[in-house]
Amino acid sequence: MGKIRQNNFRSGAAGEAAGGGNAANVGAANGSAAELPILRICRHTKAKVRRPDKILYVLVAVFVALLLVGLFADQLVPNPPNEAVPLRALQAPSAAFPFGTDSYGRCVFSRVLVGIRTSLIPAIGLVIVSAVVGTAIGMISGYYGRAVDEILMRLTDLVMAFPSLLLAIFISGILGGGVKNAGLSLLCVSWTNYARLVRAFVLSHKEDLYVKAAILSGERGPEILFRHLLPNFCSVVAVTMSLQVATMMVSLAGLSFLGLGAPLPQAEWGSMISENVPYLQRAAWTVLCPCAALIICSFLFNIMSDRLRKKLS
């Protein structure tokens, strides 16, 4: 009887071991089967991130080409942009003047090319400065809070309470005309979007574990903001900047159209449209060409910001 019980015990233990092994194998198989979709998703996500966005690259190449044309416009123009020849006023587009001439006999094509330097490049510079100012205000307001947050956010609300272009016209009218004053007036009203955006991000992430760990390790506020928080929302700020270039460019053109921007006879798209509006029915090219340049550049930056947002997200 003792031997029989001992054999039964051994066979039972062996069965349990075999059952445990089978269960382990089944669990491993189920685990691997459960992990396979996750692995597929990870591989698909990595492939999607690494997949080159050819349209975005083309748009960036066009943007760089526009910058180069604007910087070297004086060497690329077929005719002097400010050379007035009354005898050739309002000539239709031809081989010598691809976009025709304006009421003073100046080459519209040359003035449109030079206008890249006075319309597009200042808009990019203003966007960069406003992004830096707004990001700094948003970081300080969101991280330190209390009285600092209250003061900065009430200032932001005060600026945002007015229509941005109307407030820019008011400030530019006080400061006087000129590209610098027009840019300063737009800078005063364009930083608020960045401040609100960055403040919201800092408020939602400053209690995260990695921020608390940085505080416990002895890092101070500026180090935490620039080393840990700033890299996490740079992509959002970059997308907002690319989208705001079009808005800034149209706003600069609007101020120049009203006589508050680039002074005559400087080639700027808004002022070109303004001074040639009386000749719209007789010589439509004098207005349509700078309008087309403004629309194409705005469309380019809107599409580029959308592609950049998809790429970074």
pLDDT in tens, the chain (313 residues): 444 444 444 444 444 444 444 444 444 444 444 444 444 444 544 544 456 678 889 999 999 999 999 999 989 999 999 988 889 999 999 998 999 999 999 999 999 999 999 999 999 999 999 999 999 999 999 988 889 999 999 999 999 999 888 999 999 989 887 888 999 999 999 999 999 999 999 998 888 888 888 888 888 878 888 888 888 888 889 889 988 999 999 999 999 999 888 888 889 999 999 999 999 999 999 999 999 999 999 999 999 888 888 887 6
Q: Report how far residue 202's alpha carbon sits from residue 212's, in angstroms, rounded to the nearest whole number.
A: 13
13 and 142 inside one domain: no
> Does 34 share its domain with 136?
no
pLDDT value, residue 61: 93
25 and 142 fall within a common domain: no
Residue 35 shares a structural domain with residue 136 = no
Q: What pLDDT, on a 0 to 100 scale, did the predictor assign at position 261?
A: 87
Do 28 and 105 belong together in one domain? no
Q: Which two tokens stand for residue 99?
A: 């976009």
Model-level pTM?
0.78
Separation of first and last alpha carbons in the chain = 73
CATH code for the domain of 129:
1.10.3720.10
If asked whether residues 21 and 80 sit together in one domain, one would say no
pLDDT of residue 18: 45
Q: How many domains does the chain divide into?
A: 2
- Helix 269-276, helix 285-312: angle, nearest 10: 150
Range of 167's domain?
54-312
Contact between 209 and 228 (Cβ < 8 Å): no
Return the exposure string of 126-155: e unless at least 16 CB atoms fall within 10 Å of the residue's CB, then b.
Answer: bbebbbebbbebbbbbbbeeeeebeebbee
Who contacts 165 (Cβ-Cβ below 8 Å, separation ≥6)? 251, 254
* C-alpha distances in Å from residue 30, one per residue of 23, 27, 34: 10, 5, 6
Is residue 191 located within the same domain as residue 106?
A: yes
Residues 39 and 113 in one domain: no
Same domain, 306 and 174: yes
Do residues 68 and 12 share a domain?
no
| Paired tokens of 19 | 């059952």
Q: Are residues 254 and 105 in the same domain?
A: yes
pLDDT score for 199: 93
Is 12 in the same domain as 139?
no
Q: CA 306, CA 166: separation in Å to the nearest integer?
A: 27
In the beta sheet, which residues pair with residue 31? none
